[in-house]
Amino acid sequence: MLVHDLETPSVLIDLDRMERNISRMQALCDSAGVKFRPHIKTHKIPEIARMQLEAGAVGIACQKLTEAQVFIEAGINDIVIPYNIVGESKTRRLADMALYNRLAVSADSPAVIAGLSEAAKVNEIALRVLVELITDQNRAGTTVEGAVDLAKRIDADEHLHFAGLLVYPSYASIRPALQETLLRLHESGIGVDVVSGGGTGAAYHVQEVPEVTELRVGTYVFNDWMTVRGGWATLDDCAMTVKTTVVSRPTEDRAILDGGSKTLSSEVMDGGYGFIVEYPEARLYRLNEEHGYVDVSNCDERPQVGEVVHVVPVHTCVVTNLHHTLYGTRGENIEVEWAVAARGLVW
Amino acid sequence: MLVHDLETPSVLIDLDRMERNISRMQALCDSAGVKFRPHIKTHKIPEIARMQLEAGAVGIACQKLTEAQVFIEAGINDIVIPYNIVGESKTRRLADMALYNRLAVSADSPAVIAGLSEAAKVNEIALRVLVELITDQNRAGTTVEGAVDLAKRIDADEHLHFAGLLVYPSYASIRPALQETLLRLHESGIGVDVVSGGGTGAAYHVQEVPEVTELRVGTYVFNDWMTVRGGWATLDDCAMTVKTTVVSRPTEDRAILDGGSKTLSSEVMDGGYGFIVEYPEARLYRLNEEHGYVDVSNCDERPQVGEVVHVVPVHTCVVTNLHHTLYGTRGENIEVEWAVAARGLVW
């Protein structure tokens, strides 16, 4: 099938660009001497994870057990879950997965560790646990003091194995806390297998944080308007575009696209919901579920009803999650149709 | 199964509230003397559409042909598509659907009408077309002048039937344009079957726009933080809540929920991404894909790791579209599990 024959809106992945993104990030990690562990949230597709592994990645990262299950069933068995798994049914599922797969999970509180321990005990395993340090992101994670305490609890628990430290994102600002934690763990005689960093932006500064031994990165595989605006990619690195059609030109200055928040998500950056490749001066300024509002007043040429335009979305990961299928293209050809296998898995 | 046993995050629908919402909106339309046509975008579930029809609705509305197909296959045959259908493959599919179903579609330009006419001609049908008038929403639609011109083109086309006018939303501000268009169509001897209005907010003001003969409303069936803040519903009318778990308490003032933008969407209102039922003073101030950041500094009691809290989302329709299943609850019982049949259908 040709791209031309594909209905709109559809999500296209430029295979040349994606392949280049994959090999470039692997080369960056190789030259920095860190292991690379792609976060599959961006694509949610086992076939793409396999390309990342073939390029040299050591395993994958994903946030949810149900996502991990999809990739395990596809034969990918080295998985880090950088997320607090809470509740007995989930920790038991995790412990079951850990029987036959190389899993590690993060934790940032005694309550989370107690739950993991209980489940691991039932299965008589030593579950690998990374302790999450808090960063400038101010999301989950604990302090240096807390991390040392948690590492000791894990180390003392016969059903848990202290696997190391985890941060997100791993910018240089986290170094003092990382160094202090590592020093104190060393003084306590607790070994650290892994220091897991992450973030597409942070990846390009990985050499500034030599403590990091492994990187979790997602967005780089497709890139998006956010990574372009962050200075981490150019428009030529954006593998994902959304093919849309202009369905209305209600005024001289406005065009309406057949892709809205159900297609592009509601993520917004600097007042824009995406970048229109064919009309760089246009502004995608508002979305309803099925309508994209475009201000074309700054465009010399203006699109007509029926015209096809391609949108680089603000945030590629959430777009993937909205669609049943991604279409891998090479020039005008659709070379592959991928079902988004781990789409919408929130447990 | 009990609600208690359901994993988080999960989307719950309080059946008592939903049933009350359905009968109340139908009663409102009945007493105003307008036909009611629920927009299925909010639930995307044929079983719920059937409840709306059994309560007295005349048919349904949906934006996309693939959505219409799901409901047609479920035996619902009276459908308005308030959207410009553009491109030959889509107009042909529409014309095929119109062979065996009572369909109407909107249009706002000669280009759209030409495409509809061509497809209708192939099937030798008279496709029913509503002309969309522009409103304060400044989305799609045409002017009074444009509408009269389009109605004449449709009327003159042997393969199209002019079915009336369509507006969104149908607030009183649209009356002057509606009246002028109706007058000019009357002067031109063109009959108007339907004036189709819409919007949950506008529904409560339907009596201020007596020209409207039929209403398309979606959100009312579940309601959300947006309809509450709009004054169109109370918290007690919110049938949809998202069951989530507190997975981290990294600081005194912050809690992290296991539902983020992949669960609640990125729609935001007054800086908040949802209302937490158990902690009305808490503020859900930021989302990542799997993390909900909650400021609990104003709460006297504060949640612990492992605690379950329920979130009223900002916008219910986009939440439905993110999930495979909605759980219909009556008290503590899960009475029904609905697959979101028309989820993610964007063509």
Peptide bond into B9 cis (omega under 30): yes
Contacts of B44 in chain A (CB under 8 A): none
Question: Of B11, B26, B4, B96, which Cα lies nearest the Cα of B339?
Answer: B11
B108/A347 CB distance under 8 A: no
Contacts of B346 in chain A (CB under 8 A): 9, 259, 262-263, 290, 323
According to the model, what pLDDT value does residue A73 have?
97
A7/B90 CB distance under 8 A: yes
- Quote the strand ranges of chain B, DSSP E: 10-14, 35-38, 60-61, 78-84, 102-107, 127-132, 160-166, 194-198, 214-217, 240-251, 254-257, 274-276, 283-287, 292-295, 308-313, 325-330, 333-339
B346/A9 CB distance under 8 A: yes
Number of Cβ within a 10 Å radius of residue B327? 19
How confident is the model over B157-192, as pLDDT tens digits?
A: 999 999 999 999 999 999 999 999 999 999 999 999
Residues of chain A whose pLDDT is less than 50? none
Between the two ends of chain B, the Cα-to-Cα distance in Å is 35
Q: Identify the architecture of domain A16-222 in CATH.
A: Alpha-Beta Barrel (3.20)
Nearest CA in chain B to A245: B86
The first and second tokens of residue B161, run together, are 């039937």
Same fold, B16-222 and B226-314: no
pLDDT above 70: percentage of residues in chain A: 100
Q: How far apart are CA A80 and CA A185, in angstroms?
A: 22
Average pLDDT, chain A: 97
Q: Any idea where the domains of chain A sit in the sequence? A: 16-222, 226-314
Q: What are phi and psi of B248, to 5 degrees?
A: -155, 145
pLDDT category at B20 given cuts 50, 70, 90 is very high
According to the model, what pLDDT value does residue B63 have?
96
According to the model, what pLDDT value does residue A281 have?
97
According to the model, what pLDDT value does residue B275 have?
98
How many CB pairs (< 8 A) connect A and B? 160
pLDDT above 70: percentage of residues in chain B: 100
pLDDT category at B333 given cuts 50, 70, 90 is very high
Q: Residue A229: left if φ>0, alpha if ψ -120 to 50, beta else—which one?
A: alpha
pLDDT category at B38 given cuts 50, 70, 90 is very high
CA of B31 vs chain A CAs: smallest distance (Å): 30
- Secondary structure (3-state) at B67: helix
Q: What is the dihedral of CA B287, B292, B297, B301, to 10 degrees?
A: 160
Residues 6+ apart with CB under 8 A from B38: B25, B49, B52, B57, B60, B61, B216, B217, B218, B221
Question: Of A104, A186, A120, A102, which Cα lies nearest the Cα of A152?
Answer: A186
ipTM of the shown complex: 0.97
pLDDT category at B92 given cuts 50, 70, 90 is very high
Contact in structure between B167 and B141 (CB atoms under 8 Å)? yes
Q: Compare CB distances from A139 to B64, B291, B318 and report the shortest one's residue.
A: B291
According to the model, what pLDDT value does residue A329 have?
98
A321/B322 CB distance under 8 A: yes
Q: How far apart are CA B304 and CA B245, in angstroms?
A: 10
Q: Compare CB distances from B86 to A141, A306, A318 and report the shortest one's residue.
A: A306
Residue B145 burial (C-beta neighbours within 10 Å; 0-12, 13-18, 19+): exposed
Question: Of A189, A207, A82, which Cα lies nearest the Cα of A135?
Answer: A82
Q: Compare CB distances from B289 to A41, A111, A289 and report the shortest one's residue.
A: A41
Between helix B175-187 and helix B144-156 the angle, nearest 10°, is 40
The CATH number, out of the four listed (3.30.360.10, 3.40.50.300, 2.40.37.20, 1.10.10.10), of the domain defined by the range B226-314: 2.40.37.20
According to the model, what pLDDT value does residue B230 have?
95
B262/A321 CB distance under 8 A: yes
State which H helix or E strand residue B151 sits in: helix B144-156
Question: Of B151, B154, B132, B129, which Cα lies nearest the Cα of B143?
Answer: B132
How confident is the model over B194-252, as pLDDT tens digits?
A: 999 999 999 999 999 999 999 999 999 999 999 999 999 999 999 999 999 999 999 99
Q: Residue type at B191? A: G
Contacts of B318 in chain A (CB under 8 A): 261-262, 266, 289
A266/B262 CB distance under 8 A: no
SS (H, E, C) B4-50: HHCCCCEEEEEHHHHHHHHHHHHHHHHHHCCEEEEEHHHCCCHHHHH
Going from the C-alpha of A47 to that of each of A109, A214, A320, B81, B246, the distances in angstroms are: 35, 22, 14, 37, 33
According to the model, what pLDDT value does residue A270 have?
92
